[in-house]
Amino acid sequence: MLRTAFARRGVAALATTAIAALAITGCSSSGSTGTTGDDEKVTIEYGVWDQKQEVAMTAIADAFTAEHPNVTIKIVTTPYKEYFTKLQTSVSGGSAPDVFWMNGPNFQLYASNGVLAPLGDAVEAADYPQGLVDLYTFEGDLYGAPKDFDTIALWYNTELFDAAGVEYPSAGWTWDDLKDAAAQLTDPAKGQWGIAAAQAGQENYYNSIAQAGGEVINADGTETGYGTPEALAGIELWTDLIAEGSSPTAQQMTDTSAQDFFLSGKVAMFQNGSWAAGAYAGNADIADKVNVAPLAAGVAGNQSVIHGLANVVNAKSEHLDVATEFATFASGEQAADIMAESGTVIPAFNGKQQAWVDALPQYDLQVYIDALETAVPYPVSKNTAAWTSIEGEILSQVWAGSVTPKDGLADLAEQMQAALDAE
């Protein structure tokens, strides 16, 4: 199933009031029983949100309990739409799972309020992509054991490229190459566009801002980067494509999603994450008409934003040691093999991605793995939702053309910095 960026990786908003709620102490898992002694029975609750991964997560839990027969892992699956609402409530009420999935945008909110236990030496950071280690580090401590990751690449319709006589995207492509190809592939008479320049952070402008040499937010999450010429260049890549007619308009991509334009063969190029591979392969309309290439490079390179989930530990778990051991196991080498074989996600553990690549040999999926070399972390702060709501509102006006990119980003930088200062 194809999902939006928000639903897909959990890029959701917690209300600002959640900060106070999460600060409540005395949280403990109601699912835990007994002690951590080798001969005592222990139950660990494991909170997840993706039903498609339940088989793999169950196999991982079974592998752990085979080594620890006194431990029972109870997997609790909550649909993503309700996941963080339920988690916030359970944290406040003292019934949060011992181990649970976490995403980048919500991570610092939970870490900064003492909800998560630092993992310390339990995790060997060198086993994971540095971008993910950075994403789940707060004030010098690693709180999340990276579980999986996603990067971004350029999908293209080979049938449309062949019909237009345009060379396929390849490594070394620049923004100019992208723009030129998009123009050649656009045919108004057919209702066909070269690319879908959607207002999508993870898929589009977070990457292009980095490629221009800028950043959405600085490394410690305290200063916005939207007020820079580099950020402006990264935004204008997309708004220029719309203005030049090489992409559907913002309104058209509101009426019909950018992805649906690509799926229907009305758009020749579409940037999307590694999660799309399986979905495209399972779509009979386009499965044999598409392939994937690296992102085009700006003046600073062809960086992709990296995101991924992490296993985190409830700091108030009654069985903290066991919970920590399971969290690290569920992100470790054996678990990575199980996840890779399932084909649902790319495991974060270094050197364990090949099985995912090999699962769909008809596509050049290695580009997603190669993107790790220059990947930049997904932009987050203590309360990411406080400024992403501002970001979305202002940039929607920029994409619609009612506000110029320069004026919009100046306003965004001012408002976002105020939100960051208030954290």
Q: Provide the terminal-to-terminal Cα distance of the chain, rounded to the nearest Å.
A: 36
71-77 and 346-347 strand pairing: unpaired
Between residues 234 and 131, the one the model is more confident about: 234
Beta bridge partners of 290: 157
pTM metric for this prediction: 0.86
Class of domain 5-150+307-375 (CATH, top level): alpha beta
Q: Is the dihedral of CA 160, 164, 170, 174 positive or negative?
A: negative
Kind plus residue range of the DSSP H or E element containing 392: helix 384-400
Q: Determine the pLDDT at residue 278.
A: 87
359 confidence band (pLDDT: 50, 70, 90) = confident
Residues 209 and 299: beta-carbon distance below 8 Å: no
Whether the pLDDT of residue 13 is over 70: the answer is no
Q: Determine the pLDDT at residue 283.
A: 94
Average of per-residue pLDDT values in the chain: 91
> Residue 14 region, left (φ>0) first, then alpha (ψ -120 to 50), else beta?
beta
Residues of the chain with pLDDT > 90, as a percent, come to: 86
- Give the amino acid at 281: A
Which CATH superfamily includes the segment(s) 152-303+383-422? Periplasmic binding protein-like II (3.40.190.10)
Task: Summarize pLDDT for 36-91 with one digit per residue, the tens.
Answer: 455 689 999 999 999 889 999 999 999 999 999 999 999 999 999 999 999 999 99
Residues of the chain with pLDDT > 70, as a percent, come to: 91
Domains 5-150+307-375 and 152-303+383-422 share a fold: yes
Task: Summarize pLDDT for 101-130 with one digit per residue, the tens.
Answer: 999 999 999 999 999 999 999 999 999 999
- Domain layout of the chain by residue ranges: 5-150+307-375, 152-303+383-422
| Contacting residues for 2 by C-beta, under 8 A, at least 6 apart | 259, 263, 276, 279
Q: Determine the pLDDT at residue 342.
A: 81
CA distances from 268 to 150, 160, 251 (A): 22, 6, 19
